[in-house]
């Protein structure tokens, strides 16, 4: 196995045993980036010089016995997280030359944990989309088949992990933007509970929904990263002061007696191949001791309507600061998707329409949250497809303003409710494209979600398959 193909846990073991150095691991990832970037386009910026410097520092600390949680492990970071003295664009030409004077809290915590930053990954501009086709720096391609999309908006992050350009990545999810690209790229993506991880320094799209999280090669890796990222942040008032568990220590708990819900509403309109693999996964969970129960949930179409209104409204507010006066370029550099969302959001919030649209959407959002609360009195977790389909061909999102909402239809409800959820690979289509299983639970149920995902992952071999690049 090449060093760049290692997981976080494998990397940490090898570094501790002095089987290889962080510099060797980092150079292996950088070589893979150089070999694959023309095909994949996962990165907006590659920070090779910084990565080499951080790797050398990590090796020195390791030689002195320092035992930081992620010391010496390479990571790619979605380019909507501010990175001090490193260009941060949100994949928009508006911020083409923006150099933040500070680190996002997520970046700060990772650096304190000893990571090596390889670069900033591509996304849909401003995270507006589920394909990475709206990026002003060109679309990212799916490593399993470069004629297909990687998903989005964290498409670059997911593709960088799937192509072994990095050991793990940091993405952000507003309505599926971690789990959906993880599904299409055949990797693990964890969306924590809203408020479990700080949003400070994350370029805001929908402030009431945005949530940073890890994309990795294994469930265990996601647990290790969440242990570093989770916790109260004085710079983000929405973060929770709940204690942060050792998530990686609870992965091998038995699933005996765990009640797992399956909702028919989450299978409407799902491709037959996806449906078959999810049903097989449910049977495996049942064999592991879980009790499978039918639950009735609000159809996801209601979440789509709510999300569309809330997202456009908060986008119009959050993008108002980009006027070209204090930083960045003027508003003429906004892409078509950003302009469309700004106009719809401004209309929704305008006098005479606020109550008709925005206020009503907030009320329905509460109803959706209450619906989940009722369901979680009967079951501990809910499973279903992450996406209605496997990856779609390049160009599929063109001239389809609702492409993102439809691709994220099955993960939007849990995001709107602020729940914890994960995507784990569960098979492939006949076209050899990955299929993802989503497992989600109540707020702050990350331990339970990770445990179920890990037990499923370790019972199957899907994680062992890699794209032929």
Strand order across the beta sheet in which 168-173 lies: 43-46, 116-121, 74-78, 168-173, 211-216, 188-191, 420-428, 434-441, 381-385, 259-262, 291-294
Task: List residues with catalytic annotation.
Answer: 78, 153, 177
Q: What are phi and psi of 347, to 5 degrees?
A: -60, -45
What span, in angstroms and rounded, lies between the C-alpha atoms of 229 and 225? 6
As given in the structure block, the two tokens for residue 12 are: 């940490």
DSSP string, 127-167: G--SSSTT-TT----BTTBTTB---SSTHHHHHHHHTTSSS
What span, in angstroms and rounded, lies between the C-alpha atoms of 80 and 88? 6
What span, in angstroms and rounded, lies between the C-alpha atoms of 339 and 362? 23
Q: What is the 3-state secondary structure (H, E, C) of 241-262?
A: CCCCCCHHHHCCCCCCCCEEEE
Residues paired with residue 76 on neighbouring β-strands, in sequence order? 119, 169
Distance of CA 425 to the CA centre of its chain: 14
CA distances from 83 to 28, 50, 77, 122, 399 (A): 23, 12, 9, 15, 33
Distance of CA 32 to the CA centre of its chain: 22
Element (H, E) at 43: strand 43-46
As given in the structure block, the two tokens for residue 372 are: 């989940």
Question: Which letter, b or e, does each residue of 201-224 get, where b requires 16 or more Cβ atoms within 10 Å of its Cβ?
Answer: bbbbbbebbbbbbbbbbbbbbbbb
CA distances from 103 to 93, 100, 160, 294, 425 (A): 21, 7, 22, 45, 32
DSSP string, 197-247: B--TTBPPS-TTT-EEEEEESSHHHHHHHHHHHBS-BTTBTTS-------G
Asked if residue 32 lies in contact with residue 165, where contact means CB atoms within 8 angstroms, the answer is: yes
Residues paired with residue 421 on neighbouring β-strands, in sequence order? 191, 440
What span, in angstroms and rounded, lies between the C-alpha atoms of 436 and 312? 28
**DSSP for residue 391:** P
What span, in angstroms and rounded, lies between the C-alpha atoms of 346 and 155? 28
As given in the structure block, the two tokens for residue 47 are: 């920070």
């Amino acid at each position: 196995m090449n060093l760049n193909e290692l997981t976080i846990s494998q990397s940490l073991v090898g570094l501790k045993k002095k089987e290889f150095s962080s510099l060797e691991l980092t150079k292996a990832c950088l070589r893979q980036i150089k070999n694959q970037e023309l095909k994949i386009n996962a990165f907006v910026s590659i920070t090779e010089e910084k990565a080499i410097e951080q790797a050398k520092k990590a090796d020195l600390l390791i030689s002195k016995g320092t035992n930081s949680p992620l010391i010496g492990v390479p990571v790619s970071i979605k380019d909507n997280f501010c990175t001090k003295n490193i260009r941060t664009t949100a994949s928009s030409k508006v911020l083409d030359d923006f150099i933040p004077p500070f680190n996002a809290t997520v970046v700060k915590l990772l650096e304190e944990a000893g990571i090596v930053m390889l670069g900033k990954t591509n996304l849909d501009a401003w995270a507006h989309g589920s394909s990475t086709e709206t990026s002003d720096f060109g679309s990212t391609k799916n490593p399993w088949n470069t004629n297909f999309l990687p998903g989005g908006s964290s498409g670059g992050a997911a593709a960088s992990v799937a192509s072994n350009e990095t050991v793990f990545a940091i993405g952000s999810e507003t309505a599926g933007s971690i789990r959906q690209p993880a599904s299409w790229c055949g990797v693990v993506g964890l969306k924590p509970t809203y408020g479990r991880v700080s949003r400070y320094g994350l370029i805001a799209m929908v402030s009431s929904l945005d949530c940073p999280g890890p994309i990795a090669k294994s469930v265990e890796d996601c647990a290790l990263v969440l242990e570093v990222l989770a916790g109260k942040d004085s710079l983000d008032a929405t973060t929770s002061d709940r204690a942060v568990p050792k998530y990686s220590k609870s992965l091998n708990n038995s699933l005996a007696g765990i009640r797992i819900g399956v909702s028919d509403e989450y299978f409407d309109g799902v491709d037959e191949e996806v449906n078959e693999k999810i049903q097989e996964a449910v049977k495996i969970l049942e064999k592991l001791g879980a009790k499978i129960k039918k639950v009735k949930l609000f159809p996801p179409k209601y979440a789509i309507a709510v999300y569309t209104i809330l997202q456009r409204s908060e986008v119009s507010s959050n993008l108002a600061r980009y006027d070209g006066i204090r930083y960045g370029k003027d508003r003429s550099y906004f892409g078509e998707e950003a302009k469309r969302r700004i106009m719809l959001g401004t209309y929704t919030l305008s006098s005479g329409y606020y109550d008709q649209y925005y206020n009503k959407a907030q009320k329905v959002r509460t109803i959706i949250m209450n619906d989940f609360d009722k369901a979680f009195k009967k079951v501990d977790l809910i499973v279903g497809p992450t996406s209605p389909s496997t990856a779609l061909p390049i160009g599929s999102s063109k001239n389809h303003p609702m492409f993102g909402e439809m691709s994220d239809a099955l993960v939007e409800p849990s995001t709107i409710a602020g729940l914890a959820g994960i995507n784990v690979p569960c098979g492939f289509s006949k076209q050899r494209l990955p299929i993802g299983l989503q497992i989600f639970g109540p707020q702050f149920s990350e331990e339970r979600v990770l445990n179920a995902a890990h037990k499923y992952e370790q019972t199957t071999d899907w994680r062992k398959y890699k794209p032929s690049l």
